[in-house]
Structure 1
Amino acid sequence: MSGAPLLDVRDLRVAFRQSGAEFPAVKGISFSLDRGRTLAIVGESGSGKSVTALSILRLLPPAAHVSGAALFKGEDILKCNEKRLRAIRGNAITMVFQEPMTSLNPLHTIARQIGEILELHGARKGPALTQRIVELLSEVGIPDPAQRLSAYPHQLSGGQRQRVMIAMSLANRPDLFIADEPTTALDVTVQAQILTLLKDLQKRHGMAMLFITHDLNIVRKLADDVAVMQRGEIVEAGSVERIFKSPQHPYTKALLAAEPKGSPPTSDSSAPVVLEAQDVRVHFPIKRGLLRRTIGAVKAVDGVSLKLRQGETIGVVGESGSGKTTLGLAVLRLIRSQGPIVYLGQRIDGLSFKAMRPLRRDMQIVFQDPYGSLSPRLSIADIVAEGLVAQGTRLSLVERREIVARTLADTGLDPAAMDRYPHEFSGGQRQRVAIARAMVLEPKFVVLDEPTSALDMSVQAQIVDLLRQLQEKRRLAYLFISHDLRVVRALANEIVVMRQGKVVEQGAATEIFANPQSDYTRALFAAAFAIEADRSGVVAQ
């Protein structure tokens, strides 16, 4: 068997049973993966990429009917008993999932969760285990790893949580690493670090990688081979070089051509100011000891000012943990902050929760993690209509469903699916549901917190076009938080570059993209657009 591939998938089929019927998700695909090589599976949301990855480790729900074969070192995983599966999972084969907040236990510290993985496969408690955990956190770029051992998932940024998941997956040096959108929540500089880390680990240990992604730039940098999926089928497969240079299938050509394009609506200096914030500060106390005395503060946002006019977009960029999301929550008055915040001429930073309630209809947010922000107990219709009900609109059930149907159609979703539940949708489709929920109330100001992070490239372009169209039609003001500078370039009139809670550069988007002044900004652009930094040694710390 020395010449056999490490993983050999043959005629894999997956169908989900619902109401007595079967809905095919994967339709007889086959591929193989050798040691030390990386196979990227790409395609639009709902194409069957994640279902394929989950089926290999038999992580699909009971409603899924799986057939075919998944040979790992010659052994068919689809036929293994539970005891054998437990020995393989987390040891020989590991997997990192797309949404870290749903994978990490909110009640356990980071050290306990990583330590549990190591202990399950033979490691003993003690100083050596703690040191190994610190090494893993350091490898994936967590700052001050020894100080983070007692942290809980909610105390980390989205990108930091994803890095913890990667550390857990790499803990036991697997033979096969399955990554389902592992860099979705990471900023561009850390994304580059993680990709370099994965390539280095692969080279040192001969690890094979099955990489699920919608980011073709990652595929170009990381993968050896590509399989393009559409509607449950592999429509084209081959080497990265061949696929990128000479794609044959129309769908592959469309994917490669898909990229957020265009420019934001022209800024109007005479338009009314929707939101103005001056010297906004958000400091979280650091408490230690038995009596939990305050010994310092984490300056998540430290003196940020901005002015946003009707019909304009301010893009906020920076690494994970730089304070981008905290700033968005502060200007919406969802967390406490210091410094004046004025919304349509009314100062709101001192308003109570009750006084803020009438303004909530006009001020909306789309969160970064669509699964965590959507109730699993509500149908899509109920989720999107929730704001209409909460705001006391006097609409009948039929009228609400009509509004929901129009909003879903605007965001690229089939209105006929409104009675389904979030778990029945892909990550990208759930993100579109979150956008629909924000837009259904026709707000004036929207904070968009990584709204395209979970979307494939073609849908990203569609969402960017949709957001631009909605902005032009309704004169919406956007605060657009993102680490994807290509999307920011297509939407933002002004850019605020943040690092460790402070603004390092701020100004017109066209000027900053053309001539960034800060070394940090240049490093971000170099990582995002794969260009050389102006100065040698310019790196993101």
Structure 2
Amino acid sequence: MSTATPLLDVRNLSVAFHQGGKTSLAVDRVSFSVSAGRTLAIVGESGSGKSVTALSIVRLLGATSATFPTGEALFKGEDLLRAPEDKLRTVRGNEITMVFQEPMTSLNPLHTIERQIGEILELHGMSGGNKIRQRIVELLTEVGIPEPATRLGAYPHQLSGGQRQRVMIAMALANRPSLLIADEPTTALDVTVQAQILKLLKELQTRLGMAMLFITHDLGIVRRIADDVCVMQKGRVVEAGPVAQVFDRPQHPYTKMLLAAEPKGLPPASSSEAPVVVKGDDIKVWFPIKRGFLRKTIGHIKAVDGISLTVREGQTLGVVGESGSGKTTLGLALLRLIRSEGPIVFLGKRIDGLQSADMRPLRQQMQVVFQDPYGSLSPRMSVAEIVAEGLGIQHPNMRRAEQRTIVARALADTGLDPADMDRYPHEFSGGQRQRIAIARAMALEPQFIVLDEPTSALDMSVQAQIVDLLRDLQQRRKLAYMFISHDLKVVRALASDIIVMRYGKVVEQGPAIDVFAAPKTDYTRALFAAAFNHEADLSGSVNQ
């Protein structure tokens, strides 16, 4: 750790939560410090206490904690844990600010960007409409928003994910804080946008001389941005020190496990002679742009523009590209969940012209697993009900006992205990919830599965487990996968073939081993550089 006088000095911080008549310790005697101009990363898996630690420093846990945080959080020598509320209001948003993981939930969808940044400036003493507007434009320029004056009236949904996160950073930096707390600020972003945001944060830190507390589960990010690191497990700091020292010579078994948790291995071997499961030729999905009183079509958004592909039995086709490239739209088109043009052949039968009723018998053979296991599982249904839902639709006369037998087998196949089938999603971890989503798809014994970012919301160690599970299921059942992702490390471990998409078109396509070894286009090279932590100028490669 730095020997400079710390800006923030946390000593023996503990936080407990009360739930169901029980008290559990979420943070247990955590100590660390961070000095001006330096970055301290707090790493660990979900539930390790990272975010609780950060929120408790500025007392943002509210009434959810059973006990007032104990210990000390000395900021410029004053203990924030015992500071009066008026002092905290001065510190929050002024001297200490926060950037959160998901800007879509942090930004108000009903207010313009100008209003949301302006509120922060007004709250902390700035007045005068023109002066505030000028300051907002300066902030948006500082964080790299193109043509900022034209974006003042934009709403969050009109910006890309990277732009929304830049707006969040502009709001956090509005009052020139001494300490920025960044809680997983790049997890939901594409690799190239992630690289840009990290570079932006580092440049702003250097320019402003601020300290940064960076919370993440991605150790690759820690190597790139942090000076020091604290590794947390089950509420405790198990290892701490300079990044190079901890990463090159880890001492604790948990740190060693995290560093070794990257998805490994090679995709199952696929054969060009294997039966074709799904084939698409010149697939197009164009969304009309309508204007005027008569809603006249004046153009089209070409989400998918002339893509051809083949997925065979036992093969994984990786589809990569940045947000907005058309990856998910292509997957939904192949599943016939949205309209498209161009022939789609599934198991030898052309399906692109089929009506909904004619598609229903085929639905059992084609399934999808979504990105967010929190949002794709109903909190009001038990695991048994969730996994059996498709069985009830496809086999309405199946007895409940038979359904439960199939559910038990699907849960066991995905590494879950069938005895837990009557529990509810909130009682499981993120990795377990994703296994439940996979079990729901597997219960119908499909032949083709679209996996839409199924690992991006998971810790790295859980990612590796899900990759191993998917490979195992594919080998045992000869499944065909379309794996949609912006995480190229996971794609490399799973996909035998790859399509790189940009603006709805194929930029590069071929055997994964060839594309990874020698990418032919600048765009693909930029993606790989960002994903595998190589230094590269990505300014021209990203759709801002």
CA gap 1:493/1:134 in 2 versus in 1, 3 angstroms: farther
CA gap 1:510/1:108 in 2 versus in 1, 3 angstroms: same
- Name the residue aligned to 1:23: 24
- Name the residue aligned to 1:45: 46
Tell me, which stretches of 5 or more residues in structure 2 are unaligned? none
CA gap 1:104/1:414 in 2 versus in 1, 3 angstroms: farther
- Name the residue aligned to 2:36: 35
Shift of 1:48: 2.2
Shift of 1:27: 2.3
- Name the residue aligned to 2:301: 298
Residues 101 and 372 of structure 1 are in contact (CA less than 8 Å); yes or no, is this contact kept in structure 2?
Answer: no
- 1:264 equivalent in alignment to 2:264: no
Residues 523 and 538 of structure 1 are in contact (CA less than 8 Å); yes or no, is this contact kept in structure 2?
Answer: no
Shift of 1:54: 3.1
Residues 366 and 449 of structure 2 are in contact (CA less than 8 Å); yes or no, is this contact kept in structure 1?
Answer: yes
> Which whole-Å CA distance do the structure 2 matches of 1:390 and 1:104 have between them?
38
The Cα offsets for residues 267-317 of structure 1, whole Å up to 9 and x where unpaired, read as 122222221122222223334567655443322222221111111111111
CA gap 1:6/1:334 in 2 versus in 1, 3 angstroms: farther
Deviates more, 1:491-500 or 1:378-387: 378-387
CA gap 1:113/1:520 in 2 versus in 1, 3 angstroms: same
- Name the residue aligned to 2:312: 309
Residues 523 and 539 of structure 1 are in contact (CA less than 8 Å); yes or no, is this contact kept in structure 2?
Answer: no
- Name the residue aligned to 1:360: 363
CA gap 1:98/1:78 in 2 versus in 1, 3 angstroms: same
Q: In structure 2, what residue type is equivalent to 1:48?
A: G
Q: In structure 2, what residue type is equivalent to 1:208?
A: A
Deviates more, 1:185-194 or 1:377-386: 377-386
Residues 159 and 185 of structure 1 are in contact (CA less than 8 Å); yes or no, is this contact kept in structure 2?
Answer: no
2:202 to 199, 202, 224: 199
The sequence identity of aligned pairs, in percent, is: 73
Residues 41 and 228 of structure 1 are in contact (CA less than 8 Å); yes or no, is this contact kept in structure 2?
Answer: yes
Residues 16 and 69 of structure 2 are in contact (CA less than 8 Å); yes or no, is this contact kept in structure 1?
Answer: no
Residues 180 and 210 of structure 2 are in contact (CA less than 8 Å); yes or no, is this contact kept in structure 1?
Answer: yes
- Name the residue aligned to 1:246: 249
Give the TM-score, by structure 2 length. 0.87
Deviates more, 1:139-148 or 1:43-52: 139-148
The Cα offsets for residues 222-254 of structure 1, whole Å up to 9 and x where unpaired, read as 111111112221111111011012111111112
Q: In structure 2, what residue type is equivalent to 1:261?
A: K
> Which whole-Å CA distance do the structure 2 matches of 1:367 and 1:144 have between them?
35
> Which whole-Å CA distance do the structure 2 matches of 1:420 and 1:81 have between them?
43
Give the TM-score, by structure 1 length. 0.87
CA gap 1:525/1:421 in 2 versus in 1, 3 angstroms: same
- Name the residue aligned to 1:445: 448
Q: How does 1:483-502 map to 2 (within 5 A)?
A: 483-502=486-505
Q: In structure 2, what residue type is equivalent to 1:343?
A: F
The Cα offsets for residues 308-357 of structure 1, whole Å up to 9 and x where unpaired, read as 11111111112222222222222222333222222222333333334333
Shift of 1:395: 5.6
> Which whole-Å CA distance do the structure 2 matches of 1:78 and 1:255 have between them?
31
CA gap 1:140/1:341 in 2 versus in 1, 3 angstroms: farther
Greater Rg, structure 1 or structure 2?
Answer: 2
- 1:73 equivalent in alignment to 2:76: yes
CA gap 1:179/1:446 in 2 versus in 1, 3 angstroms: farther
Shift of 1:49: 2.1
> Which whole-Å CA distance do the structure 1 matches of 2:191 and 2:505 have between them?
19
Q: In structure 1, what residue type is equivalent to 2:31?
A: S
The Cα offsets for residues 432-487 of structure 1, whole Å up to 9 and x where unpaired, read as 44444433433322222222212222222111111111111111111111122111
> Which whole-Å CA distance do the structure 2 matches of 1:161 and 1:332 have between them?
30
1:487 partner SS: helix
Shift of 1:143: 6.1
Q: How does 1:159-170 map to 2 (within 5 A)?
A: 161-170=164-173
> Which whole-Å CA distance do the structure 2 matches of 1:5 and 1:442 have between them?
58
CA gap 1:339/1:255 in 2 versus in 1, 3 angstroms: same
